[in-house]
């Protein structure tokens, strides 16, 4: 195999997502590529990968079009492992390799960050600084050749990840006083792509990984199948000029689906996502939100009805994965910010489109608020609802603001929670929602949330 890929990051997601894709490319398209893994942090080492020669088992478990998938295969695409902190010279030397064409990374959402530093004679702290030094080495070694400029595919879950990475690299280049022609090379020849990745990956024993059958890889810009034939290899890839639409669909349906159902489900005595959706009324609650209330808002923006329906059904099927013990209380971590990002855009658009509040989303928001009745103890929120006690962590400022809301009655709670500073005035444009929310919460107070939302479960 030729060493075509430099991968920044050693986490399980990249092995279950990108490593598997390269395996499929080699198997189906004779791509003949291996991957060099580069460690991003100074802690620990890569001995576990070296000792296994990079080979690991990948288990695919879940539902796909109603069929149960349970299969395991051996992946052997990682052939070299570099820890740049003790091996900085060895790391830079990879920039001189003829066959290298692609850079991929998953440095977490906090990884694509600018931190001022001097030109590195040893490994710098941040991923962009590491990559800038590497690109400059390649630029010099290959005498500014455009043909040796790589395609760069960051897989961090932030908007405009490729644009932001390029911007920080140019900032480092200016800080370090590098050739202006290098900056031009980075801007014009290096192919930075914004991406969106979607797959649930969990860790198995040792280096092994477990994945759901579903996966999606959206890459912004012109199709590059001649260079990277992912579609031909059967990968669910979308080369698109409208990545924002993919991101919006994912955030509103997948992430929004989680956020809209778990608070109602938890307060109904459920703990695991898949188990809760075996209850017909909870399943129908989620379906109504996705298909009847969120889908029309995306359709109105030009989304294809069949594609959106298929995606919604795929989301529900993924949530029902019988192999994943996805605990809902873990999804509830750091939830205060999720209301504004995951639910309010759909709520706002539906209200504007239909001239009324969405019934199920309104109930989901009410259940979200009902869940947040409690006290703050240190950095933990302690809640009580429907006879249940639970604890989770969140932004301290938000937790303290929410905990001050008046809980003496459903009506007073509705008034104070809507006015809470955490929502940044999001409900100010919907003054009539106070009446709707009060009615829902009073029903919770009178009957209990479970009996109110899911009377037959």
35-47 pLDDT, tens digit each: 999 999 998 999 9
Using the predicted structure, report yes or no on whether residue 76 has a pLDDT greater than 90: yes
Q: How far apart are CA 141 and CA 45, in angstroms?
A: 29
Cβ atoms of 208 and 131 within 8 Å: the answer is: no
Contacts for 234 with CB less than 8 Å, ≥ 6 apart: 24, 28
Q: How many domains does the chain have?
A: 2
Check whether residue 213 and residue 290 sit in a common domain. Answer: no
pLDDT more than 90, % of the chain:
90
Cα four-point dihedral sign 83, 17, 109, 206: negative
Is residue 296 within 8 Å of residue 353, measured between CB atoms?
Answer: yes
Structure tokens at 273: 């996502």
pLDDT digit string, tens, across residues 143-195: 999 999 999 999 998 999 999 999 999 999 999 999 999 999 999 999 999 99
- Dihedral angle of Cα 39, 124, 156, 231, to the nearest 10 degrees: -60
Backbone angles phi, psi at 229, to 5 degrees: -80, 60
pLDDT at residue number 393: 87
d(CA 374, CA 363): 20
Q: Do residues 58 and 200 both lie within one domain?
A: yes
* Cα end-to-end distance, the chain, whole Å: 56
| End residue of a domain, out of 206, 241, 276 | 241
The reply to whether 261 and 127 lie within a common domain is no
pTM for this predicted structure: 0.84
Q: Same structural domain for residues 202 and 270?
A: no
The pair phi, psi for residue 72, each rounded to 5°, is -135, 140
CATH number at residue 263: 1.10.1040.10
Could you please report the per-residue DSSP string of 215-262? Answer: -EEEEESS--TTTS-TTTTT--EEEES-HHHHHHHIIIIIIHHHHHHH
Cβ-proximal residues to 419 (8 Å cutoff; 6+ apart), any chain: none
CATH number assigned to the domain comprising residue 40: 3.40.50.720
Q: Kindly state whether residues 32 and 171 are assigned to the same domain.
A: yes
166 and 236 assigned to the same domain: yes
Q: Which residue segment(s) compose the domain that 379 sits in? A: 245-453
Average pLDDT over residues 305-325: 93
Give yes or no: residues 337 and 404 share one domain: yes
Query: Please, what's the b/e burial string for 162-201 (b: 16 or more CB within 10 A of its CB; e: otherwise)?
Result: bebbbebbbebbeebebeeebeebbeeebbbbbbbbbbbb
Residues 6 and 127 in one domain: yes
What one-character-per-residue DSSP string does 70-116 give? EEEEEE--EEEEE-TTT-HHHHHHGGG-TT--EEEE---TTTS----
Report which of 252, 449, 269, 240 is spatially closest to residue 363, judged by C-alpha positions. Answer: 449
Instruction: Kindly give the interhelix angle for 410-418 and 359-371, rounded to the nearest 10 degrees.
Output: 100
Structure confidence at residue 13 as a pLDDT band (50, 70, 90): very high
Final residue belonging to a domain, choices 183, 211, 241? 241
Residue-level pLDDT at 283: 97
Say if residue 449's pLDDT is above 90. Answer: yes
- Return the pLDDT at 347: 98
Q: Which residues pair with 237 in a beta bridge?
A: 217
β-strand 209-211 against 201-203: which pairing, if any?
antiparallel
pLDDT of 313: 95
Q: In the predicted model, is pLDDT for residue 251 greater than 80?
A: yes
Asked which of 21-35, 67-81, 283-297, 321-335 is least confident by mean pLDDT, the reply is 321-335
Contact 122, 88 (CB under 8 A): yes
Instruction: State residue 392's pLDDT score.
Output: 87
421-440 confidence digits (pLDDT tens): 999 999 999 999 999 999 99
d(CA 449, CA 332) in angstroms, rounded, equals 18
> What residues contact 126, with CB distance under 8 A and at least 6 apart?
111, 113, 114, 115, 117
Residue 457 reports pLDDT greater than 80: no
Mean per-residue pLDDT of the chain? 95
Would the pLDDT of 330 be above 90? Answer: no
Angle 111-115-116 (CA atoms, 0-180°, nearest 5)? Answer: 155
Q: Are 277 and 366 part of one and the same domain?
A: yes
Query: pLDDT by residue (tens digit) across 199-239?
Result: 999 888 889 999 999 999 999 999 999 999 999 999 999 99
- What is the structure's pLDDT at 142? 98
Residues 305 and 405 reside in one and the same domain = yes
Under 8 Å between Cβ of 157 and 197: yes
For residues 137 and 268, state if they share a domain. no
- Among 54, 56, 58, 66, smallest CA distance to 16 is for 58
Query: What pLDDT does residue 25 have?
Result: 98
Looking at residue 99, what is its pLDDT?
A: 97
Asked which of 218, 241, 264 is the last residue of a domain, the reply is 241
CA distance 138 to 149: 8
| Residue 184 shares a structural domain with residue 317 | no
pLDDT at 109 > cutoff 80 = no
The pLDDT of residue 86 is above 80:
yes
> In the prediction, which pLDDT does 110 show?
75
């Amino acid at each position: 195999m030729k060493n075509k890929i430099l991968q920044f990051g050693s986490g399980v997601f990249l092995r279950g997502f990108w490593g598997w894709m390269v395996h499929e490319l080699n198997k189906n398209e004779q791509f003949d590529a291996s991957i060099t893994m580069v460690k991003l942090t100074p802690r620990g080492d890569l001995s576990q990968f070296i000792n296994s020669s990079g080979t690991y088992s990948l288990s695919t478990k879940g539902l796909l079009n109603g069929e149960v998938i349970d299969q395991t295969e051996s992946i052997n695409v990682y052939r070299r492992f570099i820890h740049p902190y003790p091996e900085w010279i060895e790391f830079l030397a990879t920039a001189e390799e003829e066959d290298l064409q692609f850079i991929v990374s998953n440095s977490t959402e906090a990884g694509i960050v600018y931190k001022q530093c001097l030109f590195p004679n040893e490994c710098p702290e941040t991923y962009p600084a590491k990559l800038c030094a590497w690109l400059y080495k390649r630029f010099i070694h290959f005498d500014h050749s455009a043909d040796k400029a790589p395609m760069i595919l960051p897989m961090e879950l932030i908007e405009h990840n490729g644009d932001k990475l390029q911007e920080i690299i140019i900032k480092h280049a200016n800080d370090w006083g590098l050739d202006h022609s290098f900056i031009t090379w980075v801007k014009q020849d290096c192919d930075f792509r914004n991406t969106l990745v979607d797959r649930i990956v969990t860790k198995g024993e040792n280096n092994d990984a477990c994945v759901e059958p579903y996966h999606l890889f959206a890459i912004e810009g012109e199709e590059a199948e001649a260079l990277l034939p992912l579609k031909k290899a059967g990968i669910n890839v979308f080369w698109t000029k409208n990545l924002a639409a993919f991101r919006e669909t994912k955030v509103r349906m997948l992430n929004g689906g989680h956020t809209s159902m778990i608070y109602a489900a938890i307060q109904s005595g459920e703990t695991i996502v898949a188990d809760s959706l075996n209850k017909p009324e909870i399943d129908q609650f989620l379906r109504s939100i996705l298909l009847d209330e969120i889908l029309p808002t995306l359709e109105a923006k030009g989304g294809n009805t069949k594609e959106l329906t298929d995606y919604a059904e795929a989301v529900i099927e993924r949530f029902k994965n019988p192999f994943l013990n996805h605990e809902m209380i873990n999804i509830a971590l750091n939830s205060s910010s999720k209301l504004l990002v995951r639910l309010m855009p759909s709520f706002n658009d539906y209200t504007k489109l239909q001239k009324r509040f969405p019934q199920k989303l309104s109930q989901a928001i009410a259940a979200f608020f009902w869940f947040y009745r409690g006290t703050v103890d240190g950095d933990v929120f302690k809640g009580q609802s429907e006879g249940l006690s639970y604890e989770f962590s969140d932004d301290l400022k938000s937790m303290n603001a929410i905990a001050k809301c008046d809980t003496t009655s459903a009506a007073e709670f509705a008034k104070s929670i809507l006015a809470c500073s955490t929502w940044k005035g999001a409900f100010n444009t919907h003054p009539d929602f106070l009446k709707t929310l009060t009615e829902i919460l009073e029903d919770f107070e009178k009957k209990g949330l479970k009996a109110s939302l899911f009377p037959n479960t």
